[in-house]
Structure 1
Amino acid sequence: MKLIRTFLISILALLFFNFTTKQDNKPTVFMVGDSTVKNGKGDGSGGLWGWGDYIGQFLDTTKVMIENHALGGTSSRTFQDKGLWNTVLNQLKKGDYVLIQFGHNDDGPINDTLRARGTIKGIGNETQEIDNMLTKKHEIVHSYGWYIQKIVREAKSKGAIPIVCSPTPRNDWKNGKVPRNDTSYGLWAKQVADKEKVTFINLNDKMALKMEKLGEQNVTGTYFYKKDHTHTSAKGAVLSASVIINQLKESNNSLKNYILQDPKIILPAKKKIYLIGDSTMANNNDVNAVGWGVTFPAYCDTTRIEIINKARGGRSSRTFDHEGLWNEVKNQLQPGNFVLIQFGHNDAGAIDKEKFRGSLKGTGDEIQEVILADGSKEIVHTFGWYMTKFIREAKEKGAIPIVLSQTPRNEWPNDKVERRADTYGKWSREIADKEKVFYIDLNEIVALKYEVSGKEKVKIFFPKDHTHTGQDGANFNALTVAESIKKLKDCGLKDYIEVKL
Structure 2
Amino acid sequence: MKLIKLIALLCATVLFLNFSQKTQNKPTVYIVGDSTVKNGSGKGDGGLWGWGDFIGQFLDTTKVSIQNHALGGTSSRSFQDKGLWTPVFKKLKKGDYVLIQFGHNDNGPLNDTVRARGTIKGIGNESEEIDNMLTHKHETVHTYGWYIRKLVKDALSKGAIPVVFSPIPRNDWKEGKIIRNNESYGLWAKQIAEQEKVTFIDLNANMSDELDKKGESNVTGTYFYERDHTHTSARGAVLSATVIANELKKSSNSLGKYVIANPKIKLPKKKKVFLIGDSTMANNGNNENAVGWGVAFPKFCDTTRIEVINKARGGRSSRTYEFEGLWKEVREQLQPGNFVIIQFGHNDAGAVDKDKYRGSLKGNGTETQLVNRADSIKETVRSFGSYIERYIKEAKDKGAIPIVMSQTPRNEWPNDKPELREDSYNKWSKIAAENQGVDFIDLNVIIAKKYEALGKEKVKAFFPKDHTHTGTEGATFNALTVAESIKNLKKCPLRDYIEIPKKKE
SS of equivalent to 2:486: helix
Partner of 1:415: 416
The whole-number CA distance in structure 2 between the counterparts of 1:7 and 1:250 is: 48
The whole-number CA distance in structure 1 between the counterparts of 2:418 and 2:137 is: 63
SS of equivalent to 2:470: coil
Partner of 2:349: 348
Partner of 1:260: 260
The whole-number CA distance in structure 1 between the counterparts of 2:137 and 2:440 is: 50
Cα offset, 1:302, TM superposition: 0.8
Aligned-partner residue type, residue 26 of structure 1: K
Aligned-partner residue type, residue 28 of structure 1: T
Cα offset, 1:305, TM superposition: 0.8
SS of equivalent to 2:200: strand
- Are 2:274 and 2:308, in contact at CA under 8 Å, matched by a contact in 1? yes
After the TM superposition, which residues 315-464 of structure 1 pair with which residues of structure 2 at under 5 Å, given as runs? 315-464=316-465
Aligned-partner residue type, residue 437 of structure 2: K
Partner of 2:114: 114
Cα offset, 1:453, TM superposition: 2.1
String of CA shifts for 1:242-285, please: whole Å, max 9, x gaps.
Answer: 11111111111110111111211111111111100011111113
Partner of 1:134: 134
SS of equivalent to 1:30: strand
SS of equivalent to 2:174: coil
Partner of 1:243: 243
Say whether residues 1:233 and 2:236 are aligned partners.
no
The whole-number CA distance in structure 2 between the counterparts of 1:323 and 1:440 is: 26
Cα offset, 1:10, TM superposition: 4.0
Aligned-partner residue type, residue 220 of structure 1: T
Say whether residues 1:156 and 2:165 are aligned partners.
no
The whole-number CA distance in structure 2 between the counterparts of 1:312 and 1:7 is: 68
The whole-number CA distance in structure 2 between the counterparts of 1:489 and 1:165 is: 39
Cα offset, 1:500, TM superposition: 6.6
The whole-number CA distance in structure 1 between the counterparts of 2:471 and 2:501 is: 24
String of CA shifts for 1:126-153, please: whole Å, max 9, x gaps.
Answer: 0011111111111110000000000000
SS of equivalent to 1:243: helix
Aligned-partner residue type, residue 182 of structure 2: D
Aligned-partner residue type, residue 379 of structure 1: T
Partner of 1:475: 476
After the TM superposition, which residues 4-153 of structure 1 pair with which residues of structure 2 at under 5 Å, given as runs? 4-153=4-153
Which blocks of at least 5 consecutive residues in structure 2 are unaligned?
Answer: none
Cα offset, 1:451, TM superposition: 2.0
Tell which deviates more after alignment, 368-377 or 125-134.
368-377
Tell which deviates more after alignment, 126-135 or 341-350.
126-135
String of CA shifts for 1:424-481, please: whole Å, max 9, x gaps.
Answer: 1111111111111111111111122222222232222222222111222111211111
Partner of 1:179: 179
Cα offset, 1:6, TM superposition: 4.6
Aligned-partner residue type, residue 277 of structure 1: G
Aligned-partner residue type, residue 436 of structure 2: E
Aligned-partner residue type, residue 195 of structure 1: Q
SS of equivalent to 2:496: helix
Say whether residues 1:309 and 2:310 are aligned partners.
yes
- Are 2:282 and 2:295, in contact at CA under 8 Å, matched by a contact in 1? yes
The whole-number CA distance in structure 1 between the counterparts of 2:453 and 2:260 is: 60
Say whether residues 1:194 and 2:183 are aligned partners.
no
The whole-number CA distance in structure 1 between the counterparts of 2:103 and 2:437 is: 47
The whole-number CA distance in structure 2 between the counterparts of 1:57 and 1:389 is: 43
Partner of 1:287: 288
Partner of 2:487: 486
The whole-number CA distance in structure 1 between the counterparts of 2:31 and 2:9 is: 39
TM-score by length of 2: 0.97
String of CA shifts for 1:96-146, please: whole Å, max 9, x gaps.
Answer: 000000011111111111111111111000001111111111111000000
Partner of 1:223: 223
The whole-number CA distance in structure 2 between the counterparts of 1:72 and 1:92 is: 22
String of CA shifts for 1:212-250, please: whole Å, max 9, x gaps.
Answer: 111112211111111111111111111111111111111
Equivalences, count = 501
Cα offset, 1:350, TM superposition: 0.7
Aligned-partner residue type, residue 353 of structure 2: D
SS of equivalent to 1:193: helix
Tell which deviates more after alignment, 359-368 or 43-52.
359-368
SS of equivalent to 1:265: coil
Which blocks of at least 5 consecutive residues in structure 1 are unaligned?
Answer: none
Aligned-partner residue type, residue 55 of structure 1: I
Cα offset, 1:417, TM superposition: 2.3
The whole-number CA distance in structure 2 between the counterparts of 1:265 and 1:399 is: 27
The whole-number CA distance in structure 1 between the counterparts of 2:212 and 2:151 is: 32
Aligned-partner residue type, residue 341 of structure 2: L
The whole-number CA distance in structure 1 between the counterparts of 2:213 and 2:464 is: 43
Cα offset, 1:39, TM superposition: 0.6
Cα offset, 1:289, TM superposition: 1.6
SS of equivalent to 2:130: strand
Cα offset, 1:4, TM superposition: 4.7
- Are 2:300 and 2:501, in contact at CA under 8 Å, matched by a contact in 1? no
Give the % identical residues.
Answer: 71
Aligned-partner residue type, residue 280 of structure 1: T
- Are 2:165 and 2:189, in contact at CA under 8 Å, matched by a contact in 1? yes
Structure 1 outlier segments of 4+, above 3 Å: 1-11
Tell which deviates more after alignment, 466-475 or 135-144.
466-475
The whole-number CA distance in structure 1 between the counterparts of 2:7 and 2:427 is: 76
The whole-number CA distance in structure 2 between the counterparts of 1:290 and 1:500 is: 21
SS of equivalent to 2:178: coil
The whole-number CA distance in structure 2 between the counterparts of 1:370 and 1:381 is: 11
Aligned-partner residue type, residue 130 of structure 2: I
Aligned-partner residue type, residue 62 of structure 1: T
Tell which deviates more after alignment, 2-11 or 295-304.
2-11
SS of equivalent to 2:177: coil
The whole-number CA distance in structure 2 between the counterparts of 1:419 and 1:469 is: 17
SS of equivalent to 1:272: strand
